[in-house]
Every structure is written in structure tokens, then in C-alpha cells.
Amino acid sequence: MKRFAFLGYGLVCYAVFFVSFLYAIGFVGNIWVPKSIDSAPTAPFGVALMINLGLLAVFALQHSVMARPAFKRVWTRIVSPVIERSTYVLFTSLALIALFAFWQPMGGVVWTVESPLAQAVLYAIFGLGWLIVLLSTFLINHFDLFGLRQVWLAFRGRPYTEVPFKSNGPYRWVRHPIYFGFLLAFWATPVMTVAHLVYAVMCTAYILIGIQLEERDLQDHLPEYAAYRDEVSMIIPRPPKTTRLPSEVNA
């Protein structure tokens, strides 16, 4: 029964993630959703700013702290390792949902792009960013990243095995294509409002800090990562320094 419960739990966590991911596209792009980043302001500017910064801080702390190995070692004494990743995904999704629900639009326009062609280009970059995010997750095993592989292996009675380190696709040009895709999605807009600018700036700051923490853990866990880091750009795509990446030896 535990195997069925874990599998059901993992599926529910993934479903919550996928819905929140789709809502995030509409939230940032001001499309499809009932409340977006630039809905009508309802609170004084100062109050709205403090609420939004608090929401972003809660998401950043949850997303970063729960991902650290030291936290996982303690956390898995309480939560089964089989559902540890699914639980992380669920908490991240709930933090996002809280951000969407309590976000306070602030009004004010920083820039506006009037050209229809330029607007189309920016919307295309916005869509490309989200597409890069999604496709990049599949290149590093989408289902492992979001906890489904763990519960599926447990359901089948098979032990969990680590996903091998690879540098295929965009990972040959940039170490963090997921973060690169997010940056495109957050900054590519024909109308940059104050609220959108706060969101983009704070998320960019978090991404740059989070990369340092993530790469420190990766170097501790993967001996080959240091060489990969020397060869491939961190966040801006460019050709690798050599034609043979160190990860190819171990893939």
C-alpha cells in the first residue's frame, strides 16, 4: 500500500507543479490568468512593494534551503527519500501559488515598446524562454527532476540510481539553460511596469546567487563538474572552449 501511496503522492505533487508552471507563464506575461503581475493595483505603493519583496524572499528561501544537501540529510529522517523530491516540488509550487495569490501590482511604466515588430520579437523571446526552460528539464531527466522517477522506481520495487551527468543539447553551450530561459521570460516584455521590474530584478539576483550555491554542491557531488565549469559559460550561451567536454568521458 505504501508504494501506491507514494506513487499517488508523487503524481499529485507533479500535477500541482505543472499547473503552477502554466500559471506562471500567464502571470508574468499578463495573459490568460485572472490575476497577473500587472493587474490593477489595490494597495499603496509602499505596502505593495514590501509584500512583494516578502513573497519573493519566501520563495527564494524555500527553493534554496530545501535543495541543500545538509537540509536533505535532516529532512529525509522525517520524510521518506522516495518522496523527498516530490515534497520539495510541492513546497516550491505552494510558494509560487502564494506569490500569485498575494502579489500586489504597483502600476507605473518603466518602458513601453510601440513598434508592432519589436513587440512581436519580444513576445517571441518571452515564449522562447519558457520553451528553453521546459526542454532543458527533459535533457537532464524531467521526471527525476520533479520526483516522478523516484516514486515510479519505488512502485516497481527497484532501487533509485543517480542520473548520469551529461552535457547534451544547450548544456554544451551554457551550464544553466533553465536559468537562461527564465531570464529571457522575465525580461522580454514590450511594457515593463514597476511591478514587473521588481519581479525581474529580484529573480535575477536570486538566480545569480542560487547558481553559486548550486555549483558548490555539484562540485562536491560530481568530480567532473569542475572541468565542465571551466569549459562552458555559466549563463550566457557560447561555444565551449574545447570540442570535447569532460562530461562526455563519463556519459
pLDDT at 152 over 70: yes
Three-class secondary structure of residue 47 per DSSP: helix
Which residues contact residue 17 at a Cβ distance below 8 angstroms, ignoring those fewer than 6 apart? 89, 90, 92, 93, 146
Instruction: Give the pLDDT score at 169.
Output: 87
| Predicted confidence (pLDDT) at residue 193 exceeds the cutoff of 70 | yes
For residues 112-132, give the mean pLDDT: 97
Average pLDDT over residues 58-78: 94
Q: Residue 27: which of 11, 15, 17, 39 has the closest Cα?
A: 39
* Alpha-carbon gap, residue 31 to 130, rounded angstroms: 14
Task: Give strand ranges (E) for 137-194.
Answer: 191-193
pLDDT at 247 over 70: no
Q: What's the confidence (pLDDT) of residue 166?
A: 80
Instruction: Return d(Cα 11, Cα 243) in angstroms, integer.
Output: 40
**Which of 147-151, 159-163, 224-228, 246-250 bottoms out in mean pLDDT, i.e. has the lowest?**
246-250
